[in-house]
Structure 1
Amino acid sequence: MNIMVLAFPIIFGYLVWFAGAIQIDCDKTDQIHEDQIHHCCKHPDGHNQIMADCAKEHGFKLPNSNEQSMMDLTAGHAIAGTCFAKCVFDKLNFMKDDNLDMEAVKKSLLEKHSDDPEYVNEMIRAFNHCHGKAEENAAKFMSNPIFKHMTKDFCEPKSAVIMACVIRQFFHNCPPFRWAKTEECENLLQFSRNCTDSIATL
């Protein structure tokens, strides 16, 4: 059996921990659907060719053809897709000398979302927050001997760590006026507040 198949649960556990949130049971979780959180905080949506191409190339599942924003993923989903995240960041030129290039990030956001400056600022703050933290976490994680057994199903995880961190920061700091007032979104928000670190994306 492929060693990565056996090791993946351990890898995923480490990655979620490094993203800054741990999945735990708290109260009733049957009505909490974290995979629907992307409907709760308003963000640019629609088809994204880079995301679609990388998803197809690496067998990564996106919600659907109209929800292909980075913010349409949960933190746990993103951090598990190491090759997908690396592909996206490489195509966006977000990495330079194996480090996050904040100038490239800002340029891309300003060019693509000039009609929503508040979203741009929120995303820049999220990337800034995850900049040094992600590098430190990835370095610690990569020191684990299990990385010596990487296969084509697992890539250098720095991009995935950053992506997951950015997603979590975006939703965790979603301004009240952007948060949907639906029952499901309000319940999700209250659950995250009552059960600290129970939802990876919040």
Structure 2
Amino acid sequence: MKNSTLIIFSFAWLLKFGNSLKIDCDNPEFIREDRIHYCCKHPDGYQEFVDSCAKETGFNYIQSNEESIVDITADHATMGTCFAKCVFNKLQFMKGDELDMSAVRQHFESKYKADPEYAKEMINAFDHCHGKSVENTAKFLSNPIFHNIGAEFCDPKPGVIMACVIREFFHNCPADRWAKTEECNTVLEFSKKCKDALTTI
């Protein structure tokens, strides 16, 4: 399973860990973001959209040396907004400038009839993130990296929703899908305690 698949979908059910993990939010170097897609198993089926949109928008997947939000350049963030918009348009999740929750619901209920738990958690995540999209978009645009960006970037709302869905699913991975490794547990605990420290979640 490629790292790029995570850019769209990660998954659901919160795991609780003891206080034995010592997390240092100022030291993310030990976190391997390029490996977190191994932590929560999920169905494939979106690679075609991901690859196509990455090519169309010039979006490059996260590199191993981009482990902090401060490593993301304005250009990369700009292309990311266009990448997310492209993916959502190809999945027909947008109606104008708004997320079409009925289309989202129909997509997952139809595509994952044999996996109703996955469909339900995906729909719940999109519903939650859709409800917070206005607030999160404003917060996203307040980031200093956008202060010097011109008008040539896409509506950030799809990207904001996508990022929210990734975070929701990674933080709520069903126990039967979660890889119970020390590395995965550490990344999850780090991402919960150090919000916005990781670029992918």
* Both structures adopt the same fold (TM-score exceeding 0.5): yes
Aligned to 1:41: 40
Deviation at 1:120, TM superposition (A): 0.9
Q: Say yes or no: does 1:162 pair with 2:161.
A: yes
Counterpart CA distance in 1 for 2:139 and 2:182 is 39
Give the aligned partner of residue 5 of structure 1: none
Q: Name the counterpart of 1:20.
A: none
Could you tell me how far apart the structure 1 residues matched to 2:27 and 2:148 are?
A: 36
The separation in 2 between residues aligned to 1:29 and 1:148, in whole angstroms, is 27
| 2:177 alignment partner in structure 1 | 178
1:83 matches 2:77? no
User: Any idea what the Cα deviations from partners look like across 1:30-61, whole Å, max 9, x if unmatched?
Assistant: 32112321210111125622222111111223
Aligned residue type for 1:149: G
Gaps of 5+ in 2: 1-22
Query: Which deviates more from structure 2 when the two are superposed, residues 85-94 or residues 41-50?
Result: 41-50
Any conservation in 2 of the 1:94–1:102 contact (CA below 8 Å)?
yes
> Structure 1: how far apart are the matches of 2:142 and 2:50?
29
Report the equivalent of 1:150: 151
RMSD: 3.1
Corresponding residue of 1:121: 120
SS in 1 for 2:166: helix
**What are structure 1's unaligned runs of at least 5 residues?**
1-23, 64-73
Distance 1:93 1:122 in 2: 19
Paired with 1:45 and 1:62, the residues of 2 have a C-alpha distance of 17
Q: TM-score, normalised by structure 1?
A: 0.68
Match of 1:52 in 2: 51
Q: How many residues align?
A: 164
TM-score where L is the length of structure 2: 0.68
Task: Tell me whether 120-129 or 34-43 shows the greater mean CA deviation.
Answer: 34-43
Aligned AA (1:129): H
Amino-acid identity (%): 58
